[in-house]
Amino acid sequence: MQPVYVSNTWKMHFALYGRKFGQDAEGRIRTLLEHLARKGVRVTCCSALASCIRERGLDGGTDIREFSGPEDLPGDVDIFLSLGGDGTFLNALTIVGDSGIPVAGINFGRLGFLTSTGSGDSGCGIVDRMLAGDYSVRKRSLLEVSYEDRPGDFYPYALNEITLQRSEPYMIGIEVLIDGMRIPTYWADGLLIATATGSTAYSLSFGGPVAVPDSSVFIITPMAPHNLNVRPLIIPDTSVVEVVIRSSGHGTMISADNRSSGIAERRRVTVRKAPFGLNCVSFGRDTFFEALNEKLLWGEDRRNEKNKYARL
């Protein structure tokens, strides 16, 4: 990478977050870094990404500022830029936490439903829009999970869902109370409690409904229930959900997005709306519906091709 002229006056400060990347992403990373430098954007990288940039000679001989976690993330960061797929974007929450720093995503993964770009895009376009102030920030609701003996390294907040499920090939019984009121026990592989944002993630795989991310709802979705008349349930996001697992001594696992841990049988798990949200960068009012069309092929039907994205 050739040295790029950098303005002495920083326009914005971006924190770049991602995992180690392969050769297929090298060209896009180089293009993005050069573009940020030309635009006078101050850049700080997470340690894993910074190490990979150095190894591949993409640093242009400059000293890369870096952070290792939330404790040393600079307080003057304007945008937290996730470079990866949806898993990387979800992990960004563990770094940003309740800081309120807006998060944007550039898709270096497969689907990238939560990200702001399509596959193969280096992200220079959205960088220009953010520098021009041509974006909005939307607060996404988070879930908070609490239970006795929760491991200290298990981050208790989730953007998509909290999942309780079997870790062995045995069906489990799941007792659920919503605001103290008991609902029928589920006999299933597990139970998902999803946010509106998470309605298009794991919950969707089990027949859960799609909700617009701004909706003030949570979705309770059983996982492969052994019952013909069990359906997902939509509840207000002000509700408090309590769950107890009956697993007859077999293993059970709890997950917050893509982070998981074992949990003891009969342990009472409480799930509620977190006291803070995640600020997500948005470009345009139709971002969610365009993502449904482009990334999940919503309503794909050759009869609709003529009217695709048509405005009334």
How many C-beta atoms lie closer than 10 Å to residue 311's C-beta?
4
Catalytic residue among 24, 72, 78, 86: 86
C-alpha radius of gyration, the chain, whole number: 21
DSSP 200-223: GTHHHHTTPPP--TT--EEEEEEE
Look up 86 and say whether it is catalytic: yes
Report the distance separating Cα 136 and Cα 130, nearest Å: 9
H helix intervals, the chain: 23-38, 47-55, 86-96, 124-131, 202-205, 287-295
SS3 261: strand
Closest CA to 16 of 66, 85, 91: 66
Task: For residue 225, give every residue at least 6 positions away whose Cβ sits within 8 Å of its Cβ, in sequence order, or none.
Answer: 186, 187, 188
Contact predicate 130/12, CB 8 Å: yes
Q: What amino acid positions are annotated as catalytic residues?
A: 86
